[in-house]
């Protein structure tokens, strides 16, 4: 699982690089290689990003009402669980698709 979420620096080959969780919701997240200091950027295609935005919107539509009803109904455990599930289902695919399409921008 960790191998899916992280990637090797394309400049020096150091493994275990990853984008920040919130950064992955952006079109082109960037990170700095912990070993050589190169700027690593996601080269995700426009089409893949649009597909992800559709997925994210669909996910929001599906989970928004159950989350709202759980909060309104005072069912805190299911509200928390649904919120965590939403964040997980939203960020995991983003991290994985960005980690699969990294490019190095330079130092
Ligand atoms: Zn590096």
* Domain containing residue 15: 2-105
Assign 104 a pLDDT band (cuts: 50, 70, 90): confident
24 Rama class: left (phi>0) / alpha (psi -120 to 50) / beta: alpha
pLDDT at 86 over 70: yes
Per-residue pLDDT tens over the stretch 75-85: 999 999 999 99
58 CA distance to ligand 1 middle (Å):
36
84 CA distance to ligand 1 middle (Å):
32
77 CA distance to ligand 1 middle (Å):
42
Average pLDDT, stretch 57-74?
A: 94
Compute the mean pLDDT over every residue in the chain, rounded to the nearest whole number: 92
Of residues 72 and 105, the one with the higher pLDDT is 72
Cβ count within 10 A of residue 13? 10
Per-residue pLDDT tens over the stretch 12-60: 999 999 999 999 999 999 999 999 999 999 999 999 999 999 999 999 9
13 CA distance to ligand 1 middle (Å):
6
48 CA distance to ligand 1 middle (Å):
25
16 CA distance to ligand 1 middle (Å):
10
Gap between the Cα atoms of 24 and 36, Å rounded? 22
Assign 96 a pLDDT band (cuts: 50, 70, 90): very high
How many separate domains does the chain show? 1
Average pLDDT, stretch 88-96?
A: 94
């Amino acid at each position: 699982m960790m191998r899916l979420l992280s990637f090797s620096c394309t400049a020096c080959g150091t493994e275990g690089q990853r984008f920040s969780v919130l950064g992955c919701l952006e079109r082109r997240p960037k990170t700095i290689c912990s070993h050589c200091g190169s700027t690593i950027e996601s080269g995700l295609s426009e089409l893949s990003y649009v597909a992800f935005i559709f997925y994210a919107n669909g996910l929001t539509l599906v989970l928004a009402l159950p989350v709202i009803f759980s909060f309104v109904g005072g069912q805190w455990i299911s509200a928390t669980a649904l919120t965590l599930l939403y964040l997980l289902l939203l960020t995991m695919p983003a991290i994985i698709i960005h980690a699969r399409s990294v490019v190095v921008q330079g130092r």
